[in-house]
Structure 1
Amino acid sequence: MVDQSRLWDAHAAAEYDTPGEGMFAPEVLGPTVERLQELSAGGPVLELAIGTGRVAIPLREAGVEVTGIELSEAMIARLREKADALEIPVVMGDMTTASAGEGYSLAYLVFNTIGNVLTQQQQVECFRNAARHLAPGGCFVIELSVPDLRSLTPGTGGTLEHSEPGYLLVDTYDTLAQILVSHHVHFDPPVDGSRQASIGRTPQRYVWPSELDLMAQLTGFTLESRWADWDRSEFTAESRSHVSVYRLSTLDR
């Protein structure tokens, strides 16, 4: 089993933030924060795997009370450079078991983070832990990509996802274990006619939407909404990602 706290080390934390670009781009982050603010309904919220505060900081700036759970000490340290513990409290621990109290109106997991949990049983425990934190009737929101197994050529186990000078991204699939490993290959500038390459690997367990819905049912949630993106666009068979909103039962747990 991969030690996720080692995977998200000081080097990863230092390179995680890309202000104004990628997942930090305003057109990506703005709708995310807007939807989460609406779903919080004025109550406190919990971010599982809060990371460096990409979502939590602008959400707090929008007036939402945010608490986080995070396994990586290095990621928390990066967050603390931008927001102190009074602004955004964080409990260090595993998002499947760590406790940050009760009574939240919303819990959320964004940008494929539930995939960092590499077994089905532990992913179910993420739902259970979210339920323990929520008030009855609270929401659990998950943003997740849709497995693109149709792109696999018969007889191969991988795809080239991105290529640019100095960088390649190759995804490989174990379709029995539902494990996708992203291989990030960086090439240094040529020296004496040769180039040195470094490789970083990030494993994820991919989850089909229907499997995610079953996990929700097992832990007291029902699917309330599913969109293709935070802009509430329609989720279709061609959608490459989804934002799923689950509602916790109002019955005593």
Structure 2
Amino acid sequence: MAEADETAAFLERYAGGKSALELGIGDGRVAVPLIERGVRVDGIDNSDSMLKLLAKRTDRVRTWTGDIANFKTEQRYARHPRSTASLPPICRGSSRGRRRFSD
């Protein structure tokens, strides 16, 4: 879990203690330590079983089951922690719920 803690510490600086959206949140390996650092975390995952594991770990994450490619929200997030290497590192929400990726 040291790697997850290091990742959470890194992401906390970029979230500025505000909010983050984790795409592919899974069981909350990164989300839980981030929450413990004071960042509000929302997450989406296509696996109900992973979200059930997350719910056993904490009730402090708002989650959605679904495909990240089709996810839309009006909520704006400071940052999103990425769970897979194939996703761009930073995701910013727009007022229409579309996301713009940048480095």
Shorter-chain TM-score bucket reads 0.7 to 0.9
The answer as to whether partners of 1:104 and 1:134 remain within 8 angstroms in 2 is no
SS in 2 for 1:106: coil
Match of 2:49 among 74, 84, 89: 74
Structure 1 residues 220 and 50: CA distance shift in structure 2, 3 A: closer
Helix, strand or coil at the partner of 1:33: helix
SS at match of 1:110: coil
Q: Which residue of 1 aligns with 2:18?
A: 43
Q: Give 1:57's match in structure 2, choosing from 22, 32, 45.
A: 32
Aligned-pair RMSD on alpha carbons? 2.3
Match of 1:37, SS state, is: helix
For 1:81, give the aligned amino acid. K
**Residue 110 in structure 1 maps to residue 83 in structure 2:** yes
- Superposed counterparts of 1:57-206, under 5 Å: 57-84=32-59, 87-112=60-85, 114=86, 130-131=91-92, 133=93
CA deviation vs aligned residue, 1:12-52 (integer Å, no higher than 9, x gap): xxxxxxxxxxxx3x2x1222011100010222100000000
**Higher relative strand content:** 1
Higher relative contact order, chain-length normalized (CA < 8 Å, sep 6+): 2
Evaluate the alpha carbon distance shift between residue 56 and residue 67 of structure 1 in structure 2; reply closer, same or farther with a 3 A threshold.
Answer: same
Report the CA distance between 1:100 and its aligned residue. Answer: 4.1
Distance 1:32 1:102, change over 3 A: same
Q: Which amino acid aligns with 2:10?
A: R
Work out whether residues 46 and 66 of structure 2, in 8 Å CA contact, stay in contact via their aligned partners in 1. Answer: yes
- State percent identity of aligned pairs: 28
C-alpha distance in structure 2 between counterparts of 1:63 and 1:57, whole Å: 10
Q: Which runs of 5+ in 1 are unaligned?
A: 1-23, 115-125, 141-218, 222-245, 247-253
Paired residues, what number? Answer: 98
Q: CA offsets per residue over residues 130-159 of structure 1, 9 Å max, x none?
A: 44x357xxxx9xxxxxxxxxxxxxxxxxxx
How far apart are residue 110 of structure 1 and its match? 2.4
Matched residue SS, 1:81: helix
1:91–1:98 Cα contact (<8 Å) kept: no
C-alpha distance in structure 2 between counterparts of 1:31 and 1:220, whole Å: 23
TM-score, normalised relative to structure 1: 0.35
Q: Give the alignment's TM-score, normalised by structure 2.
A: 0.81
- Return the index of the structure with the highest Cα Rg: 1
AA aligned to 2:62 is P
Distance 1:53 1:220, change over 3 A: closer
